[in-house]
Structure 1
Amino acid sequence: MATEMDRRAMRTDQWRARLGHAFGGLRADYVDGHLDVSADCLDGKISSVRLGRATAFHVSGSPQVVRRTQRSIITAEDDPFKISILRAGRAVVRQGDVEVVLKPGQLALYDTGRPYDLRLEGAWSCAVMTLPRHALGLPKASLTRAMSHPWETHHAPGSVLAYLLVSSLTAQRDVDADVTAAAAHLGEASLELLASIVSEGSTIGSDDTLRARVGAYVRAHLTDLDLSHNSVAAAHTMSPRSLHRLFHDEPQSVMEMARSLRLEAIRTALADPLQRGRSTMAIANRLGYADAAHFNRAFRARFGTTPGAYRRSALGQ
């Protein structure tokens, strides 16, 4: 017969398994190595909803520290960026030599491709969103700076982002929903809001601000078939060489960013039930891919599957 200690250990193991499955091997441990006096074990709740390229979660639980280790990074299928909006309790994010303390109503952005600790205190709850690494199309320096401090969500656009995440989770609590057209559009709106929040934090007149403007221009012109390095440079009254220098130390060049964003947009469209009647190549053509063989190679290299296989899976066919 199971003892109370056995039941507590089982609840802890079950929570660790749910958390690790939801967040790519994230590990829950006791705060400072000891069980908090306000809890009898490690425990929590998770609900989630797919929002196109992003996924939103509501997470709550007992006091604990969750850790992303180098081992879990290596074994995980993906390493997206993550935002957490604290709704109750207190949280401390530590990544590298940066520590961000969160109070209710504040947001933190961090990189799941690097080890981090997230200390969660009191009766805590968070709205969390994971997003593809290049979805924001923002400069590396802007993202690094954005991860160095908390962001308020008491005023726009942060308040709108918080409302979208919380309302999407409230509508489909405890449901791992399939992608729907409305959810995909909600996800894109959330990504645009987050990009706006981070962009506004850039120093006016800096190269980071110019890179952020270029990224926003590219996102707005993905369906422009004449989009090119030269056209982007001309739109910002600079020479192609100057634009190249501006992005020289970034993870992606301007056109690599455009290709990545176009493939993400195509993947979102392929999973949209309202676009079921459009052929895969009609969707790809609109976003700059004229050759089917080239498109199929690019999609498979980016997502590890063919466009057709992904669409059948996303639409439940």
Structure 2
Amino acid sequence: MNVFNTNDLTGRAAPGGWTGLFASQIEAMDFKPAKPDAFMAELAGSDLGPLHIARLTCGRTTIERGAAQIAHKTASTYLLMLQVRGEAEVSHYGNTATLGEGDFVLCDSAAPLKIRFSGDVETLILKVAASTLKEHLPSPEGFCGRALRADEGLTAAAAAMALNLFGRLEAGLSLHYQDRVARQLLDIVATAYALAFDTSNARSSVVSGRCAAVKLYIEHHLRDPELTPCAVAAGTKLSTRYLRMIFASENETVSAYILRRRLEQCARQIADPAWRGHSMTEIAFGWGFNSAPHFTRTFRDRFGLPPREYRRLKLEEEGGAFGARTRRAA
């Protein structure tokens, strides 16, 4: 078991050093802690047959994987995250999932990912090659970014097994059994997903996979102002008619999906203190809008407030939450 922590990283060098360390063990991601000078984290991990399993503990921070990191990706992998302690908000594949203790989420390393930890957390991460995962879960794309709740089906059993195996790795698990137990874990995770989602989803795995591929294409091109349903159809080599068909069960058109995702990304940046110095127009145009009045109108329709008022409210909430945490620490 390899254990890494920030004890040897001091001050504002810690987040940057930790980002490089995390990339060498899991995947390339940017760590943006709420308090860089006091950033503390630990990563303990080991291979388990075809898996790499690691436990991440850290304080309040935001983790992002974007186009720059994805561009250097060579092998296709998935990350299965189990929230052991604390809460996380995961934005991935056009979904936003709030995870509580015992919840899972599956993430595709080829797609943009944002994780927000609101406080001290402990998260178990299983990294697996796409080819290996698909032997157990044939269409993983259809589950990415969706929370697998602790109280659904076999989720609790999958979580207990994952934690038990990690504990045994810490104590020293014989190599003779590692491949076998890793695949048993993947089997129970796949069954948990099937029980939680497949029974309520009548679509074939082919259609689900194509819908996920379309969403992934949209995520990669969301900043392009020329992104339209016709452009998506051309880029994914599908007819516009078939594109409408695979989105029919989503209760959302392709155009509505693109607009929603752009608005959600704008809202996150508007609410982020790090983007305080950027104008609404700059943020909106950065996410593919080309009309400030259209952006303001659609933003108000979705969030109930104009962008400037939304920023003011969110920054006040952030300041109040920070003040409360400071008083508790004192």
The TM-score normalised by the length of structure 1 is 0.55
Whichever residue aligns with residue 27 of structure 2, its letter is G
Aligned to 2:147: 150
Partner residue in 2 for 1:172: 169
Q: Which residue matches 2:43?
A: 46
Look up the match of 1:73. 70
- Structure 1 vs Structure 2 CA RMSD: 3.0
Please, which moves more after superposition, 117-126 or 8-17? 8-17
| SS, match of residue 152 in structure 1 | coil
Q: Partner of 2:181 in structure 1?
A: 186
C-alpha distance in 2 between matches for 1:154 and 1:122: 23
What is aligned with 1:90?
A: 87
* Distance of 1:70 and 1:22 partners within structure 2: 19
1:119 partner amino acid: R
Q: CA deviation at 1:119?
A: 0.8
**TM alignment of 1:67-146, pairs within 5 A:** 67-134=64-131, 135-137=133-135, 138-140=137-139, 143-146=140-143
2-structure distance, mates of 1:54, 1:27: 23
Residue 202 of structure 1 aligns with which residue? 198
| Separation in 2, partners of 1:155, 1:198 | 9
Q: Which runs of 4+ in 1 moved over 4 A?
A: 209-212
Identical columns (%) = 11
Aligned residue type for 1:206: A
Task: Measure, in 2, the Cα distance between the counterparts of 1:76 and 1:61.
Answer: 25
CA contact (8 A) 1:56 1:128 kept: yes
- How far apart, CA to CA, are the structure 1 residues paired with 2:174 and 2:62? 31
CA deviation vs aligned residue, 1:37-64 (integer Å, no higher than 9, x gap):
xx74333111112121111111110111
1:69-100 Cα distance to aligned partner (Å, 9 max, x none): 22212223423111111111111111242111
Q: Distance in 1 between matches of 2:200 and 2:159?
A: 26
Q: TM-score, normalised by structure 2?
A: 0.53
**Relative to structure 1, is the Cα distance of residues 211 and 7 closer, same or farther in structure 2, using a 3 angstrom cutoff?**
closer
Q: Does 1:64 align with 2:67?
A: no
**Cα separation, 2, equivalents of 1:166 and 1:41:** 28
Question: Is the CA contact 1:19–1:27 (under 8 Å) kept in the aligned structure 2?
Answer: no
Shift of 1:67: 1.2
- TM-superposition CA deviations, 1:194-221 (whole Å, max 9, x none): 2112222213683537999xxxxxxxxx
Alignment of 1:238-257 (within 5 A): none
Q: Secondary structure at 2:157's aligned position in 1?
A: helix
Structure 1: distance between partners of 2:80 and 2:93:
17
Q: For residue 202 of structure 1, give the secondary structure of its aligned residue in structure 2.
A: helix
Distance in 1 separating the partners of 2:156 and 2:93: 28
Give the SS at the match of 1:114: coil
Flag structure 1 segments of 5+ consecutive residues without an equivalent.
Answer: 1-5, 213-248, 250-317
Hey, which of these two has a bigger chunk of helix by percent?
2
Counterpart AA for 1:64? T
Deviations along 1:247-272, whole A, 9 cap, x unmatched? xx9xxxxxxxxxxxxxxxxxxxxxxx
**CA displacement 1:169-215 (0-9 Å, x = unmatched):** 22333x9x898221111110111112112222213683537999xxx
Mapped partners of 2:204, 2:52: distance in 1: 27
In structure 2, C-alpha distance between the alignment counterparts of 1:71 and 1:51, rounded to whole Å: 29
2:11 corresponds to 1:8: yes
> Offset of 1:146 from its aligned partner?
2.0
Per the alignment, do residues 41 and 12 of structure 1 end up closer, same or farther by CA in structure 2, a change over 3 Å counting? farther
Q: State the SS of the aligned residue for 1:14.
A: helix
Deviation at 1:102, TM superposition (A): 0.6
Please tell me whether the aligned partners of residues 27 and 68 of structure 1 are also in contact (alpha carbons under 8 angstroms): yes
| 8 Å Cα contact 1:44-1:59 kept in structure 2 | yes
Q: Which amino acid aligns with 1:136?
A: K
Match of 1:243 in 2: none
Deviation at 1:156, TM superposition (A): 5.2
The Cα shift of 1:148 comes to 4.5
Residue aligned with 2:38, SS: coil
- Asked if the contact 1:84/1:108 (under 8 Å) is kept, the reply is yes
Count of residue pairs the alignment pairs up: 198
Provide the C-alpha distance between the structure 1 equivalents of 2:30 and 2:75, rounded to a whole number of angstroms. 16
CA distance in 1, matches of 2:57, 2:176: 28
Structure 2: 5+ residue stretches without partners: 1-8, 209-245, 247-330
| Counterpart AA for 1:84 | M
Q: Distance in 2 between matches of 1:69 and 1:125?
A: 23
